[in-house]
Chain A
Amino acid sequence: MDKIRESILTKSHASKLERRGKIISFMCLGGICLIVLAIFIFIAYRGLATFTSDHVSIFKFLGGTKWNPEVTENGHPLVGALPMITGSFLITILATLLALPFAIGTALMMTDITPKMGTRILQPVLELLVGIPSVVYGFVGLTVVVPFMRSIFGGSGFGILAGTFVLFVMVLPTITSMTVDALKSVPKDYRSASLALGATRWQTIYKVVLRTATPGILTAIVFGMARAFGEALAVQMVVGNAALMPTSLVAPASTLTSVLTTGIGNTVLGTVQNDALWSLALILLLMSLAFNLAIHLIAKRGELKR
């Protein structure tokens, strides 16, 4: 009697293990969240100093076109981040637009046209493209893309267009592999039904598969944009780093990341110049927040439609 009672009341080895496993895995997750919070607090603390302790107005920061933190005008340092913000957005949008048809086309090849060749050739190709380090992309951009731009458009060759071409190759695998996921999640039945109705393969793809997968593809696009927006070294090597409002696509411009990477080593922690750079980092952070928000909105919309 007692033995049974005991074995019922005490926790079995399995349930102890269960608890332990759950706690350990939860702690891992908690650790990650802690890191994210730490990064946020730390960058916000540094980035907001420009506005709180150096008394720069936020509107002047976001709307000003002159970036020269070492010079003060009317008692305020010249920290207009608009040229960099514009540069970042232009490069991101152009690179994504350029990559989109290639990404969707490649993804369709992998899911609907030749899945065999897709997994044999295209999948490894994408994985390799992801694997190529951004420094190498920058190196190739500097030795191939920039001289190419120079020979066609004249000038120095550095600029938004050169950055766009480098980023195009860099975001291509991201957008493609996520588009593949989106296309794969379209049920087989939809395709079979459409084909059974007498539609051609292209009609099926265009009218059924792509439409159903639209939310997923949009998510892929936003992800690609987030990657493009945050890329630093490769862009910095080809964009020219001129803190000027971009007047043409082949004139030197700058992005948030390029100014951040080149500038941070030359400033002293706690000075206006350094704080202003951290504010740029804060914008980068807020932008990745915005991109994530967009992804969530898209996902919600997609769910409603179904």
Chain B
Amino acid sequence: MKKRWPLILIGILIILLGFAYVTRDQSKQGESITAVGSTALQPLVEAAGEEYSKVNPGIFVNVQGGGSGTGLSQIQSGAVSIGNSDLFASEQTGIDEKKLTDNRVAVIGITPILNKKAGIKNLTTKQLQAIFTGKVTNWQQVGGRNQKIVIVNRTQGSGTRVTFEKRGLNKARSIASQEQDSSGTTRQIVATTPGAISYVSFSYINDTISVPTLNGIKPTNKNVTTNKWQIWSYEHLYTQKNTDKVTKRFIKYVLSSHVQDELVPQLGYIPIKDMQVERLE
């Protein structure tokens, strides 16, 4: 009779599960929205989602990273409700932008950063291009100290890199070099490696690195809103063309003044309504 106890245990477990199922909280079965994609955009959507759930109990916003490419391919296949992306769908190969609705929710500025020992205060677009295409290899050649240039790139296909090459390098392609996935690590490398140059979004600027002006223009949010500083990109929440009401309502919430005025600047983004110019590609 010793053998009975596993059976009894399983029986009790099943009864417990059944009881749990019957007494489950019906109001919390509600809808959930899944957003997948850009790791840079993830905290914003996460924070907005948390607040949204507080105001609208029963709706859960489930945010995942995975990269802009994953986000776009997931929204294209219809596996998720929102695809977070740092890029326009047209900039990503393999995505048919006509099938998707673009919701631009914020803007982010990107700036070159240098190691402090480079001794550079200003760069021109031409110089920047020459550096990243390998034509210039010493800071002396662009008016700095005698120090070899170390290029630290961002991962191929990442939003920051695509935007930087398109806007900062005039569509020139950077030579192959060290690549870093994360902004924090990139900043750390540039801060500690003599002669290093890379690029990060504005929110990563601090005093461990030096930030040159580009063609005499300072990388500030204000200059981005007027397009005087040209290296910036939108943050997009892509949805399917005929998406459901729940998703639409959530995106409306993200564009509401509450999120735009409080959360967006807190996370280092520029609110979309501050922009005085618009880009379509």
State yes or no: do A and B touch (Cβ within 8 Å).
yes
Within 8 A of A (CB), among B201-258: none
Select A241's contact among B39, B69, B95, B178, beta carbons within 8 Å.
B178
Whether A266 pairs with B176 at a CB distance below 8 angstroms is no
A241 touches B192 (CB 8 A): no
Are B176 and A265 in contact, with the CB atoms below 8 A? no
Q: Is B65 an interface residue (CB 8 A)?
A: yes
Stretch at the interface among B4-12, B137-145, B153-161: B153-161
Q: Is A73 an interface residue (CB 8 A)?
A: no
| B69 and A267 form a contact (CB under 8 A) | yes
Question: Does A155 contact B150, Cβ atoms closer than 8 Å?
Answer: yes
Segment at the interface with B among A20-28, A64-72, A118-126: A64-72
Binary contact readout A248-287 vs B (1 if CB under 8 angstroms, 0 otherwise) = 0000101000000011111111111110000000000000
Question: A156-B150, A156-B189, A265-B67 in contact; A70/B176 too (CB < 8 A)?
Answer: no
A142 at the interface (CB under 8 A from B): yes
Interface 9-mer from B14-22, B106-114, B179-187, B260-268: B179-187
Q: Is the CB of B176 within 8 A of A271?
A: no
Q: Does A244 contact B (CB under 8 A)?
A: yes
Nearest B residue to A83, CB-CB: B176
Q: Which residue of A lies closest to B87 (CB)?
A: A266
Contact A242 B185 (CB under 8 A): no
| B126: interface (CB < 8 Å) | no
Given the complex of chains A and B, what is the CA–CA distance between A68 and B158 in angstroms? 13
If A155-B150, A244-B177 touch, whether A266 touches B189 (CB-CB below 8 Å) is no
Q: Binding site of B, secondary structure by majority: helix, strand, loop or mixed?
A: mixed
Interface residues of B in 107-156 (CB under 8 A from A): 150, 152, 155-156
| Complex Cα–Cα for A150 and B190 (A) | 12
Q: Which chain A residues in 132-177 approach chain B with CB under 8 Å? A: 142, 147, 150, 155-158
Shortest Cβ gap from B276 to chain A (Å): 31
Is B27 at the interface (CB under 8 A from chain A)? no
Tell me the interface secondary structure of chain A in the complex.
Answer: mixed
Q: Count A interface residues, CB 8 Å.
A: 35
Q: How far is the CB of B132 from chain A (nearest CB, A)?
A: 14
Would A70 and B157 count as touching, CB distance under 8 A? yes
Q: Does A110 sit within 8 A of B, measured CB to CB?
A: no
Are B156 and A142 in contact, CB atoms less than 8 angstroms apart? no
User: B157 to A266, Cβ gap below 8 A?
Assistant: yes
What chain B residues lie within 8 Å of A262 (beta carbons)? 155, 179, 181
Contact between B66 and A265, CB atoms less than 8 A apart: yes
Complex CA–CA separation, A253 to B73 (angstroms): 29
**Residue ID in chain A nearest B173 by CB atoms:** A71
Q: Does A225 contact B (CB under 8 A)?
A: no
- In the assembly, what is the distance between CA of A266 and CA of B181, in Å? 11
One digit per residue, 1 when the CB lies within 8 angstroms of any chain A CB and 0 when it does not, for chain B 163-203 equals: 00000000001001111110001000100110010000000
- B178 pairs with A265, CB closer than 8 A: no
Contact of B178 among A142, A237, A252 (CB under 8 A): A252
Q: How far is the CA of A66 from the CA of B73 in the complex (A)?
A: 26
**Which residue in chain A gives the minimum CB-CB distance to B175?**
A244
Indicate if the CB atoms of B176 and A242 lie closer than 8 Å. yes
Q: Is A47 among interface residues, defined by CB-CB distance under 8 A? A: no
Q: In this complex, what residue of A is CB-closest to B65?
A: A265
User: Are B67 and A266 neighbours in the complex by a CB distance under 8 Å?
Assistant: yes
A244 to B67, CA, bound (A): 24
Closest-CB distance, B219 to chain A (whole angstroms): 24
Contact across chains for A267 and B157 when beta carbons are under 8 A apart: yes
Q: B34 near A: Cβ within 8 Å?
A: no
Q: How far is the CA of A263 from the CA of B179 in the complex (A)?
A: 11
Q: Is B57 engaged at the interface, CB distance under 8 Å to the other chain?
A: no
Q: In angstroms, how far is the closest chain A Cβ from the Cβ of B107?
A: 21
Given contacts A155-B193, A156-B193, A274-B94, contact A142 B157 (CB under 8 A): no
In this assembly, does B32 line the interface, its C-beta being within 8 Å of a C-beta of chain A? no
Task: Determine which of A147, A156, A240, A241 lies in contact with B155 in the assembled complex, contact meaning CB atoms within 8 Å.
Answer: A241
Is A209 in the interface zone, CB < 8 Å from B? no
Q: In the complex, are the beta carbons of A150 and B95 less than 8 A apart?
A: no
**CA distance in complex: A240, B154 (Å):** 11
> How far is B176's CA from A157's CA once the two chains are assembled, in angstroms?
17
Q: B178 touching A266 by the CB < 8 A rule?
A: no
Contacts from B to A (Cβ < 8 Å): 39, 65-70, 72-73, 76-77, 92-95, 150, 152, 155-158, 173, 176-181, 185, 189, 192-193, 196
Can you list 22 A-B contacts with CB-CB less than 8 angstroms, sorted by A residue number? A66-B176, A69-B156, A155-B150, A156-B193, A157-B192, A236-B181, A237-B185, A242-B179, A244-B176, A252-B177, A252-B178, A262-B179, A265-B67, A266-B156, A269-B73, A269-B77, A269-B94, A270-B94, A271-B94, A272-B93, A273-B93, A274-B94
Closest 6 CB pairs of A and B: A265-B67, A266-B157, A271-B94, A252-B178, A268-B94, A241-B179
